[in-house]
Chains A and B, each alone.
Chain A
């Protein structure tokens, strides 16, 4: 499960809106091994497929600068974020939104960062309703949807097993790609 403050979600969504129709990307840093995102760092999308607007890549020099700063602060990336901005040619959800689901290329790169949540905001237009979902790779390398719990602040969030509604009640159906 990804427990995340509402203001951080707003920052990600605002970034996705600003950059639409290009994919926006960024990372949420938190204390090492806390699994708790504390601040959003928007990243420059350095992918050269700008005309297509359908890929993202962190600018490598900027990534290094953020890495150095994070190391100095005992922080690490807790969440990697990017937006999906286009309606898929073959709709995969009934919602009519571009589905917030990792692409084959997304999954390839997810495998490089075990334990990191990969958040996707699907946004059909700059003013459209955002669809936020999060994913992880399990130990077998399969994509699993990661329930997102948005909280006002972490002090009053309850994430114990007894407080968690059944996953089926919250998690939208993940399309079967097998």
Chain B
């Protein structure tokens, strides 16, 4: 079960500058574990206290995983995982 993971600029220091990398797993949790094995340090940028970090948005195919089970979201074989920086602010 392999997925293509799209990496935002801010996290490419972990992937040697690559915009897209492959990772194995059938859930987002497993994909992130596999990412961490090949790109150490990336997990801490995505997950905090067992949940997705508020600074990132993660999408499996076209759906925001916050609406699809979070880290338990299913990742279909050949699917696409897209990571984007959250854009927010205010006083």
Contact A47 B90 (CB under 8 A): yes
In the complex, which residue of chain A has the Cβ closest to the Cβ of B11? A112
Smallest distance from the beta carbon of A58 to chain B beta carbons, Å? 4
List residues of chain A with CB within 8 A of the CB of B86. 57-58, 60, 109, 112
Contact A80 B87 (CB under 8 A): yes
In the complex, which residue of chain A has the Cβ closest to the Cβ of B85? A112
Contact B91 A54 (CB under 8 A): yes
Q: Does A40 contact B (CB under 8 A)?
A: no
Q: How many Å lie between the Cα of A128 and that of B4 in the bound state?
A: 48
Contact with B88, one of A57, A61, A84 (Cβ below 8 angstroms): A57
Q: Main secondary structure on chain A at its contact with chain B?
A: mixed
Q: How many Å lie between the Cα of A102 and that of B89 in the bound state?
A: 8
Contact B62 A64 (CB under 8 A): yes
Smallest distance from the beta carbon of B63 to chain A beta carbons, Å? 8
Q: How many Å lie between the Cα of A49 and that of B82 in the bound state?
A: 27
Contact A55 B89 (CB under 8 A): yes
Q: Does A74 contact B (CB under 8 A)?
A: no
Q: How many Å lie between the Cα of A30 and that of B84 in the bound state?
A: 18
Q: How many Å lie between the Cα of A108 and that of B89 in the bound state?
A: 8
List residues of chain B with CB within 8 A of the CB of A82. 89-90
Q: How many Å lie between the Cα of A61 and that of B87 in the bound state?
A: 12
Contact code string B66-91 (vs A, CB < 8 Å = 1, else 0): 10000000000000001011111111
Contact code string A99-141 (vs B, CB < 8 Å = 1, else 0): 0001101101111111100000000000000000000000000
Q: How many Å lie between the Cα of A61 and that of B68 in the bound state?
A: 12
Contact B89 A106 (CB under 8 A): yes
Contact code string A53-97 (vs B, CB < 8 Å = 1, else 0): 011111011011001000000000000101010101000000000
List residues of chain B with CB within 8 A of the CB of A47. 88, 90
Contact A61 B55 (CB under 8 A): no
Contact A63 B84 (CB under 8 A): yes
Closest 3 CB pairs of A and B: A55-B90, A112-B85, A106-B89
